[in-house]
Amino acid sequence: MLLSVSTHLWGWWILWGTKQKGDHVMRNILYVALLFVGSLSWMTDVRAEQDVVQRVAKWYGVGTFGSVQRLSYTFHVQKGTKQGQRTWVWEPQLHRVSFRSGPKQPWFRYVRGSEAFKSSPQAQKIDRWFINDQYWLLFPFHVVWDKGTQVTTEVAPKTVTWGTHTFQPTHIISVRYPNQGGYTPGDLYKLYVSKEGALVAWSYHRGGSVKPTRQTTWEKHIRAGSLRLSTLHRGVGGAFRIWFSGVSVE
């Protein structure tokens, strides 16, 4: 199909050009040829970006997430000498979230988007924590789920070094969120992708800042039901760490 279109374009310009002066004809032919080649190059770039993004989402199991009824996990965070944890049960089909801050604490439950949720400051506060913790676990899915983002890809340097961490990614996916809407508008994430499609690291840029707000690894991938999930993120310098325990997918 591309060959026939190209032949048609060239044939039309040659016939038309017999009535024009030589130099003018050549300039017109070259102009159309460059436009045509440029459009093919643009389409190739778009397909390449989509291929990288889809490879990541597929590696983590995005195609099977629609059958997940229940996702349970405990989010742990360490900043210096301080530690905290939050336990979640998310039922995505019902939009229902259950939360507790410790094994002996009571559960707090809410349905995202419901009228009760909209009128509850406590539920909305907890939902901000839920989104934060869930993004650390499921961000590879959000790259294809979230609307209104600007997603671009580029070939990564052969070696990337952050402090004592060294990575060898093949691509970098940049995900920029809109300046309005959501809990943290304008944020930028850069995902460092392995040849297989796994994330090896990411950097978070609050409000789209040039300098990274935080950089961490993506490690200890596990199989949970039909999903692959990273359960350990270590920051540069070792003072920051996030990990997940009790991960269960039904």
Contact assessment for residue 162 and residue 201, using Cβ atoms and an 8 Å cutoff = yes
Stretch (H or E) spanning 127: helix 121-145
| CA geometry: angle 155, 158, 162, nearest 5 deg | 105
The string of DSSP letters for 15-56 reads HHHTTS-HHHHHHHHHHHHHHHHHHHHHHHHHHHHHHHHHHH
Over its length of 250 residues, how does the chain's per-residue pLDDT go in tens digits? 333 333 333 333 333 344 445 565 555 555 544 445 454 443 344 455 578 999 999 999 999 999 999 999 999 999 999 999 999 999 999 999 999 999 999 999 999 999 999 999 999 999 999 999 999 999 999 999 999 999 999 999 999 999 889 999 999 999 999 998 778 789 999 999 999 999 999 999 999 999 999 999 999 999 999 999 999 999 998 899 999 999 999 9
Q: What is the pLDDT of residue 26?
A: 55
Residue 135, number of CB atoms within 10 A of its CB: 17
The string of DSSP letters for 193-233 reads E-TTS-EEEEEEEGGG-SS-SEEEE-EEEEEETTEEEEEEE
Could you tell me the CA-to-CA distances from 215 to 18, 178, 223, 230, 238 in Å, in that order? 62, 21, 24, 15, 11
| CA geometry: angle 41, 43, 47, nearest 5 deg | 115
Pick from 134, 159, 154: which is nearest to 146 by CA?
Answer: 134
The domains of the chain, with CATH numbers, are: 2-58 (no CATH), 61-249 (2.50.20)
